[in-house]
Chain A
Amino acid sequence: MDFRLTKQQAMVQKLCREFAINEVEPIAAEIDEQERYPEETVQKLMKYGLMGIQFPKEVGGSGGDYICYSIAIEEASRFCGTTGCIISSHATLGAWPIYAYGTPEQKEKFLRPLVSGQKLGAFGLTEPNAGTDSACQQTTAERQADGTWLINGSKVFITGGGRADTYVIFAMTNKAAGNKGISAFIVDKNDPGFKIGKIEHKMGIRGSQTSELIFEDMVLPADRLLGQENKGFKIAMQTLDGGRIGIASQALGIAQGALDKAVQYMQERVQFGRTLDKFQGLQWMVADMEVKIDAARLLIRRAAFNHDVGLPFTKEAAMAKLYASEVAMEVTTKCVQLHGGYGYIREYPMERMMRDAKITEIYEGTSQVQRMVIAGQIFKKK
């Protein structure tokens, strides 16, 4: 039992902190205000191996682990929830399913560019009528006579939609079979019949692009089927298990970043002749937040550790994501409060952090879904 980071992990943390302070923080407010996708940051994330952290060097990745991956997202999110979201959605949602289920050819052609910093990946599961009930897919894929796939339908709320080069999407290959009739496919942004639909305006993580994906008689070669036919639901669920470590880390980073700012502010702000940190009522708020943030971090590190060593982590990741996202919402709300009026105006990052925190309770499984997953794991064993 050792709670310390390894030297490598500590150095990755140092890199990510430097990167976040120099590259992420200075534009965080601007990309939120302008709803601007930080293309220049993404290029640098790719260049420094931050978009393929947890993938082995053999497939083109950086050779790190999920702890490092979590650290990277946490550090970026301390200053900018958008950037944390971009790293997370690319690596776990876009790249991981191909890493886990791809054929050697698919890995060479699609995974290597994603994890070596050449291309960007995204994941398309959610549909207008298939949110939390993700099995209710209406997108269809029909195998044609020549072996190609004809895909029709659409996806919504796709993180990185219109920015990604490679998408892992899900479609019904057997409508009657429900969960057992879903298959996964790899889509290239240039595939005929693939279109980007509406780009959403969001409450938070406004620099990340979220869009609709439209498939109109989209024809995919036979070798784009990912994994086995009708076995896509499992791929989706497993992908989301890992993705939750990323979102939990994003929530953690937002909470930590908000608390850091609040602690600094409390040491400067004077009311009634003393700085805010001298008021016991406020001190206790800070102490409670510190405990919760650290507890969240330990849950996340444990889930990441399990993932790294091959232990089950479905429940652990769901618990980490549930807890961290709720802590993020609570902490950012309290940190706005600690800043008073300054917390509510845009000159300070507090209100942005509070808006960014909210999504972590919603995407890649709402808090309610996490509870379902956790309960499911408990009762499965009994």
Chain B
Amino acid sequence: MADFNNTNLADFSGVWVFCEQRQGTLQPTVLELISEGRKLADDMGVELCGLLLGDKVEGMAKELGAYGADKVFVCDDPSLATYTTDAYAKVICDVVMDKKPEIMLIAATNIGRDLGPRCAARLHTGLTADCTHLDVDVDKYAAFLGEASTLPQEQLDALDRSDRNLKMTRPAFGGHLMATIICPRFRPQMATVRPGVLKRGEYDEAKANAVVVEKLAVSVSDADLKTKVLEVVKEAKELVDLTGAEVVVSVGRGISKDVEKGIALAEELAAEFNGGVVGGSRAAIDSGWLSADHQVGQTGKTVHPKLYVALGISGAIQHKAGMQDSECIVAVNKNDGAPIFDVADYGICGDLFKVVPMMIDAVRAAKAAK
């Protein structure tokens, strides 16, 4: 550490991605980071490297190559089979100090957000948490701001085009504000990146075969390990309650024609989203179609999910009181004058029994294309 001078920026080169795996399975979000890292590396004219830690994980290198990694550093050791902060931080910091990457990306999973700050603190560099957008190239950054911000064009024009810092953009205050963070004085520039936001590229067989694998010696001693993992348990996600749900699909009086099918459709649509749950209007609860804990509105729960889908709900004031602060509202109703459309971001006037199956297909297709 003593001879690690990370203020001499010229010593650092290359974009790195920490390739998180759990129990021998690569976390899918890593491929998003590799794809994004590829673009950054191309803009900078440098190598993209994956850093893969685990026990007998070398086989994953090919897949990383397929999505754009030029090289994968593999640290293979039984002590790395299961993630521990101690062992992983030790190995990563040792490698970074030795190889000096310019950029280091880590998926903002529970593990990434445990590991990233520990490493950044040890390396004495900055870390930006939970980023949703990354740029090095200033023209691309200006184009991004043009679309995603309310900043005036002259501010965008005034950006210094020669700036080569990594511009790490992230939401703050629950998305009410966005901030672009830079780490101008230290290297590597580190970021954890929110899973599911960046796009995964195409699998390329030729690239998969071309990837260079470099195995690195691992030195983890028992003295380095201060925590012990007693067990790792995988569990199915428990049903999230309405208030905390990210996506709520609610049904109302409009499903009366075929209640069972209406609820089944809502469930099917909700299941297409991570953390999606089914809710209901007062009419749906009072009619006994759903139990009281599903109720959204004045007497029920107030929700503010990322997405609220109102199916066959007219949008009486007591319902709107419980959902109008949702980030995005989609409403399907037969009556084009239904008040729910006043608060909806996207309204579809139609029969929910016909529209929702098509909606489910469209969402599935969009997910597959992603």
B299–A269 touching, CB < 8 Å: no
Smallest CB separation, A183 vs chain B (Å): 50
CB distance from B60 to the nearest CB of A (A): 47
The 3 closest A-B pairs by CB, nearest first: A347-B299, A269-B317, A268-B317
Cβ of A29: which chain B residues have Cβ within 8 Å of it?
A: 299
State which of A268, A342, A347 has its C-beta within 8 Å of the C-beta of B320: A268
A101 within 8 A of B: no
Judge if A348 is at the interface, Cβ distance under 8 Å. yes
CB of B271 closer than 8 Å to a CB of A: no
Note all chain B residues with C-beta closer than 8 A to A342.
317-318
**B298 at the A interface (CB under 8 A):** yes
Q: B282 at interface (Cβ–Cβ under 8 A)?
A: yes
In the assembled complex, how far is the CB of residue B341 from the closest CB belonging to chain A, in whole angstroms? 14
Query: Distance in Å from the Cβ of A187 to the closest Cβ of chain B?
Result: 41
Chain B window 301-330, contacts with chain A (Cβ cutoff 8 Å), 1 for yes, 0 for no: 000000000000000011011000000000
Contact flags A329-362 to B (C-beta < 8 A → 1, else 0): 0000000000000100001100000000000000
- Closest Cβ–Cβ distance, residue A343 to chain B (whole Å): 12
A29 vs B295: C-alpha distance when bound (angstroms): 15
Complex CA–CA separation, A165 to B199 (angstroms) = 66
Chain B residue numbers with a CB within 8 Å of A270 are 317
Whether B318 and A347, one on each chain, are in contact in the complex, defined by CB atoms closer than 8 angstroms, is yes
Q: Chain A, 267-281, contact with B by CB distance < 8 Å: what is the 0/1 string?
A: 011100000000000
Query: Which of A265, A269, A347 has the most chain B CB atoms inside 10 A of its CB?
Result: A347
Within the complex, the shortest CB–CB distance from B299 to chain A, in Å, comes to: 5
Nearest chain A CB to B302's CB is how many angstroms away? 12
Task: Give min CB distance, B37 to chain A, whole Å.
Answer: 45
Q: Which residues of B contact A347 (CB under 8 A)?
A: 282, 298-299, 318
- State how many angstroms separate the Cβ of B322 from the closest Cβ of chain A: 11
Closest residue to B339 on the A side, CB-wise? A270
**Residues of chain A contacted by B317 (CB below 8 angstroms):** 265, 268-270, 342
**Distance to closest chain A CB from B136 (angstroms):** 47
Of the listed residues A268, A269, A270, A348, the one surrounded by the most CB atoms of chain B closer than 10 A to its CB is: A268
Which chain A residues lie closer than 8 Å to B298 at the CB level? 347-348
- Contact between B321 and A268, CB atoms less than 8 A apart: yes
CB nearest to B297 among chain A residues: A347
| 15 residue pairs A–B, Cβ–Cβ below 8 Å | A29-B299, A265-B317, A268-B317, A268-B320, A268-B321, A269-B317, A270-B317, A342-B317, A342-B318, A347-B282, A347-B298, A347-B299, A347-B318, A348-B298, A348-B318
Interfacial residues of chain A within 229-268, with CB under 8 A of chain B in the complex: 265, 268
Interface residues on A, range: under 10
Shortest C-beta distance, B185 to chain A (Å), equals: 42
Residues of B near A268 (CB, < 8 A) are 317, 320-321
Interface string of B284-304 (1 = CB under 8 A from A): 000000000000001100000
**What distance in Å separates the Cβ of A108 from its nearest Cβ neighbour in chain B?**
46
Q: How far is the CB of A267 from chain B (nearest CB, A)?
A: 11
| Chain B residues in 8 Å Cβ range of A348 | 298, 318
Name the distance in Å between B10's Cβ and chain A's nearest Cβ.
55
Chain A residues, CB < 8 A from B318: 342, 347-348
New contact pairs (12) apart from A268-B317, A270-B317, A347-B299, CB-CB < 8 Å: A29-B299, A265-B317, A268-B320, A268-B321, A269-B317, A342-B317, A342-B318, A347-B282, A347-B298, A347-B318, A348-B298, A348-B318
Bound CA–CA A348/B321 (angstroms):
12
Residue of A nearest to B286 (CB): A347
Question: In chain A, residues 95-109, which have Cβ atoms closer than 8 Å to a Cβ of chain B?
Answer: none
Tell me the bound Cα distance from A122 to B321 in angstroms.
40
Q: Specify the chain A residue showing the minimal Cβ separation from B300.
A: A347
Assembly CA distance A348 to B320 (angstroms): 14
Query: Closest B-chain residue to A261, C-beta based?
Result: B298
A residues 29-74 in Cβ contact with B at 8 Å: 29
Residue on B nearest A269 in the bound complex, by CB: B317
Q: How many Å lie between the Cα of A268 and that of B321 in the bound state? A: 8
> Chain B contacts of A269 at CB under 8 A?
317
A331 to B282, alpha carbons, bound, how many Å? 28
Query: How far is it, in angstroms, between the C-alpha of A265 and the C-alpha of B320 when the chains are bound?
Result: 12
Alpha-carbon separation in the docked complex, A54 to B298 (Å): 36
Tell me, rounded to whole Å, the shortest Cβ–Cβ distance linking A65 to chain B.
35
Q: Kindly identify, within residues 35 to 63 of chain B, every residue whose CB is under 8 Å from any CB belonging to chain A.
A: none
Q: How far is the CA of A348 from the CA of B299 in the complex (A)?
A: 7
CA distance A347 to B298 in the complex (A): 8
Q: In the bound complex, how far is the Cα of B343 from the Cα of A309, in angstroms?
A: 54
Distance between A362 CB and nearest chain B CB, rounded to angstroms = 29
A342 to B320, alpha carbons, bound, how many Å? 14
**Which residues on the B side are within 8 Å of A265 (C-beta)?**
317
What is the CB-to-nearest-CB distance from A31 to chain B, in angstroms, rounded to a whole number? Answer: 15
Query: In whole angstroms, what is the CA distance A29 to B298 when docked?
Result: 12
Residues of A within 8 A of B282 (CB): 347
Of residues 83 through 107 on chain B, the ones whose CB sits less than 8 Å from some CB of chain A are: none
Binary contact track A19-37/B, C-beta < 8 Å → 1, others 0: 0000000000100000000
Please, how many angstroms separate the alpha-carbon atoms of A265 and B316 in the complex? 13
Rounded to whole angstroms, the CA-CA distance of A246 and B299 in the bound complex is 29
Complex-state Cα separation, A269 to B317, whole angstroms = 7
Q: Which residue of A lies closest to B282 (CB)?
A: A347
The complex places the Cα of A348 from the Cα of B316 at a distance, in Å, of: 13
CB distance from B115 to the nearest CB of A (A): 36
Q: Report how far A278 CA is from B276 CA in the complex, Å.
A: 38
Chain A residues with Cβ below 8 Å from B299 are: 29, 347
Closest CB-CB distance, B275 to chain A, in whole Å? 23
A265 to B318, CA, bound (A): 9
B71 → A minimal CB distance (Å)? 54
Q: How far is the CA of A347 from the CA of B321 in the complex (A)?
A: 13
Chain A, range 264-302, C-beta contacts under 8 Å to B: 265, 268-270
Cα A268 to Cα B317 with chains together (Å): 7
Q: Which residues of A contact B321 (CB under 8 A)?
A: 268
Chain A residue at minimum C-beta to C-beta distance from B316: A342
How far is B317's CA from A265's CA once the two chains are assembled, in angstroms? 9
How near does chain B come to A186, taking the closest CB pair, in angstroms? Answer: 43
The smallest C-beta distance from A182 to any residue of chain B, in angstroms, reads: 48
A311-335 residues with Cβ-Cβ distance < 8 A to B are none
Bound: A151/B86 CA distance, A: 75
Residue of B nearest to A346 (CB): B299
A270 and B282 CA atoms in complex are apart in Å by: 20
Q: In the complex, what residue of chain B is closest to A347 when comparing beta carbons?
A: B299
Instruction: Provide the bound-state CA to CA distance between A139 and B169, in Å.
Output: 78
A265–B298 alpha-carbon span in the complex (Å): 11
A175-210, CB < 8 A from B: none
